[in-house]
Amino acid sequence: MNVLIIGNGAREHALCWSVARSEGVQRVFVAPGNGGTALMGGKVSNVPLKVTALDDLLRFAVDNGVELTVVGSEAPLELGIVDLFRRAGKKIVGPTQSAARLESSKVFSKKFMQRHHIPTAGYHVFHDAPSAHTHIELTQTVFPQVIKASGLCAGKGVYIAFDKEQALRAIGELFEERIFGDAGNEVVIEEFLQGEEASVFALTDGTAYQLFLPAQDHKRIGDGDTGKNTGGMGAYAPAPLVTPEVMRMVEERIIQPTLKGMRDEGSLYTGFLYVGLMINEGEPSVVEYNARMGDPECQVVLPLLKSDFVAALMASVEGSLDDVPFEMHRKSAATVVIASGGYPDHYETGRAINIADELSAMEDCLLFHAGTEYDGARLVTAGGRVFSVTAVGSTLRESIDRAYRAVKMISFEGACYRTDIGARAL
């Protein structure tokens, strides 16, 4: 079977690695891929197509006998890639454009959760600055408040306002300066949730679902969760915070009613469902949904999957997910992101990368590339997040230590990373 993976981050490198291990897979194409997928060789090759070039991607899939396509990132889902492929009779993992609104419209997802009594922060929706200002004036004794652009903003459209001034500035950036363009046409202002965050990932055919191990992401750039928000600087799984009891609540109160709610509304949800949770005194509520796997969480949950990934992906498309094995290794995994100096603000690219030879010999260590480029001779940096260095171990401690040993074998000018990934769980 030939498989096409869409995206260019470490998440897609991990998807590619996992898919390529499947025996029934002859070729894996990654569009556009990165330096890491370019270097995989064997059955894996990059295809120079943008993730948003939907017609070209479909033509490529048809011309190259692609039997299964896996969408890594959210942009093509919002544009309707799943609808397009299905109309052409091509199998694809992901939700339709309508179902992907769970991620692409925060207004839709908040109203959906309210309709189906799924626990989440209380909220109000605004369409212009004056009404949002009035709301802030009326509620100014309750800070912090969380102010969010409704549309997709690559993880940057969320403000935590600790006082009225910060709230008004956020509203100004969204409605007046329009820094996120149309994604900020609607704004959600919601209650600040206390607690600790974790992520749960399901693969679903719309009715049946299978769960990966729960993970925790590290969103801030600096050690001790300080500094700016990023795409994610590291992750580990399983997250002990999500006890079996919490997981049971997440299934009963969140995952099952979400899938049933989408079915009842005529918008069957298929593919990966990412539930971002806040867990407070053992009670989970939803911070956000995403319609895809997380990055960097994917780089720790996939290496812990023992069963055949492609068989499960196929079953999710064919509606038979209840019939496939979906077992996890009884191990832990940690991933440390190495970023370009300056990320998440301005950073340089094109820096030569050095990787010590010992790294490839390290057992239970997986080097996933993100922003790298390989021109056939040289590997250089090409993005903010450059690598996601994953290690598996029999304990979380072992996986963290191993990942950091591997991190030290990689160098490029300006490289930076957090030194406390997973520390809070130890």
Which residues of this chain interact with ligand AMP, rule CB under 6 A? 121, 146, 148, 155, 158, 190, 192-193, 197, 219, 276, 287-288
Which residues ranging from 142 to 171 are in contact with ligand GLY (CB under 6 A)? 155
CA distance 403 to 390: 6
297 binds ligand GLY (CB under 6 A): yes
Instruction: Please state the closest distance from residue 342 (CB atom) to ligand AMP, in A.
Output: 21
Q: ∠ CA 158-291-193 to the nearest 5 degrees?
A: 40
Choose the one of ligand GLY, ligand AMP, none that binds residue 232, judging by a C-beta under 5 to 8 angstroms depending on kind.
ligand GLY
Q: Which residue is nearest to ligand GLY (CB)?
A: 294
- Which of 100, 315, 307 has its CA nearest to residue 213? 307
Q: How far is the CB of 373 from ligand GLY (least distance, A)?
A: 22
Which of ligand AMP, ligand GLY, none interacts with 297 (beta carbon under 5 to 8 A by kind)? ligand GLY
Residue 169 partner contact from ligand AMP, ligand GLY, none using kind-dependent CB cut-offs of 5 to 8 Å: none
Element (H, E) at 282: none
Q: What share of the chain is helix, strand, coil (3-state, %, to 5)?
A: 35, 30, 40
Are the C-beta atoms of 343 and 100 separated by less than 8 Å? no
Q: Which is nearer to ligand AMP, 276 or 341 (CB)?
A: 276
Q: Could you say which of 78, 205, 217, 373 contacts ligand GLY (CB under 6 A)?
A: 217
Shortest CB 98 distance to ligand AMP, Å: 20
Nearest by Cα to 303 from 402, 220, 185, 379: 402
Helix (H) or strand (E) holding 3, with range, is strand 2-7
User: Could you report how far apart the first and last alpha carbons of the chain are, in Å?
Assistant: 42
Min separation Cβ 203 and ligand AMP, Å: 20
**Which of ligand GLY, ligand AMP, none lies near 5, with the C-beta cut-off 5 to 8 A by kind?**
none
Binding mask 97-136 for ligand GLY (x = CB under 6 A): ----------------------------------------
Chain residues 276-295 in contact with ligand GLY, contact rule CB under 6 A: 290, 294-295
For residue 190, the partner it binds in ligand GLY, ligand AMP, none, with Cβ less than 5 to 8 A by kind, is ligand AMP
Q: Which of 184, 206, 232, 393 binds ligand GLY (CB under 6 A)?
A: 232
12 sits near ligand GLY (criterion: CB under 6 A): no
Q: Could you tell me the two tokens for 326?
A: 């979906």
Rounded CA gap, 338 and 343, in Å?
Answer: 10
Q: Which is nearer to ligand GLY, 190 or 308 (CB)?
A: 190
Measured from the CB atom, is 105 or 290 closer to ligand GLY? Answer: 290
What is the C-alpha separation between 384 and 349, in angstroms, rounded? Answer: 8
Q: Which is nearer to ligand AMP, 219 or 397 (CB)?
A: 219
Q: Which is nearer to ligand AMP, 298 or 392 (CB)?
A: 298
Asked if 219 contacts 227 with a C-beta cutoff of 8 angstroms, the reply is no
Pick the closest to residue 303 from 375, 183, 391, 372 (CA basis): 391
Measure the CA–CA gap between 88 and 281, rounded to whole angstroms. 48
CB atoms within 10 A of CB 97: 19
Q: What does the alpha-carbon distance between residue 254 and residue 248 come to, in Å, rounded to a whole number?
A: 10
Name the binder of 146 from ligand AMP, ligand GLY, none, CB < 5-8 A by kind.
Answer: ligand AMP
Please state, as a whole number, how many other Cβ atoms lie within 10 Å of the Cβ of residue 348: 11
> Rounded CA gap, 291 and 79, in Å?
13
Q: Which residues here bind ligand GLY, judged by CB under 6 A?
A: 155, 217, 232, 290, 294-295, 297
